[in-house]
Structure 1
């Protein structure tokens, strides 16, 4: 019998998310550790994606039978058919996991979080892999890409558009949540507002 543990985390729910997992063989040896950044998702989506990654790992190692542990009661109860799937947004992740069960015979067991510390640690460590992503969002932002909507609201245009609210000092970009209030769009908007103020002082209407 092989054993597996999975966990997913979301910083913001939805927010930057990571997945963690451990695959253990019949001899109690750890065959694979999973720790991946998966972008912006909800906590439940991250849990399902962690389970899917673990099932893929089991399939890759030709595992025929495995007991999988997780601390997400929702995922465990839904994947075993005890609970109905009510959130349609979770259906694609649920279905992919169900499809994998045609290839990997798995049983599932819910465990409390304190018994799932290794997978939890791996999922949180995955967030550290976002350094390139977050450095991109924390970098210099061209103020010419800002569109002023009101005196305090701007839209930061780019690959994706984000709303910047200077009155409440918030931004809708993922980096704002990750760094708890620091992102390049806010910095650029503040700079632009200061520039506009200086222009008005120099050239009053």
Structure 2
């Protein structure tokens, strides 16, 4: 099981946005991904970070993952498989379709101070826009 930390950030609402993904393979290998996302809201950036991280894991053939996010919105949406704001429904559907490809998938909300690496990567991506 690998650990994946995700974060989305936006400089404005909407504004230049970025996704940060930190993957710890627990064998001494780690990956840092900083992906510029263009103009979008912070919530959209959080969803994009989730989907990008899921795709990265699938591309690497990983089948057991434990995700961490400091976004209650993302954690709640995945746990309940429901979004209150229908604008985010397509994001949720994309994420669930990917999640179903894993043998084991966990997601856990963590405080921001436990997600600093992904946050730093997301903020770096904003600057790269």
TM-score by structure 2 length?
0.94
Partner SS for 1:85: coil
Q: Note the 1:40-189 alignment, pairs <5 A.
A: 40-81=39-80, 84-104=82-102, 105-130=104-129
In the TM superposition, what is the alpha-carbon distance from 1:28 to its structure 2 partner? 4.7
- Decide whether the 8 Å contact of 1:10 with 1:16 is kept in 2: yes
The answer on whether the counterparts of 1:23 and 1:57 sit within 8 Å (CA) in structure 2 is: no
Deviation track 1:64-83 (CA, whole Å, cap 9, x = no partner) reads 1011000001101111117x
Cα RMSD after superposing both structures? 1.2
Deviations, residues 111-169 of structure 1 (Å, cap 9, x unaligned) = 00011000000000001212xxxxxxxxxxxxxxxxxxxxxxxxxxxxxxxxxxxxxxx
Q: Can you give the 5+ residue segments of structure 1 that lack an aligned partner in the other structure?
A: 131-205
* Alignment partner, residue 38 of structure 1: 37
More strand by share: 2
Please identify runs of 4+ aligned residues in structure 1 that moved more than 6 A.
none
- C-alpha contact 2:20 2:125 (8 A) present in aligned 1: yes
Q: Give me the TM-score of the superposition, normalised by structure 1.
A: 0.60
Secondary structure of 2:101 counterpart: coil
Gaps of 5+ in 2: none
Post-superposition Cα deviations, 1:79-121, rounded to whole Å, max 9, x if no partner, equal 1117x41111111111111110121231011000011000000
TM-superposed deviation, 1:29: 2.4
Larger Rg: 1
Equivalent-residue separation in structure 2 for 1:8 and 1:58 (angstroms): 17
Aligned length: 128
Q: Which has the higher contact order (CA 8 A, sep 6+)?
A: 2
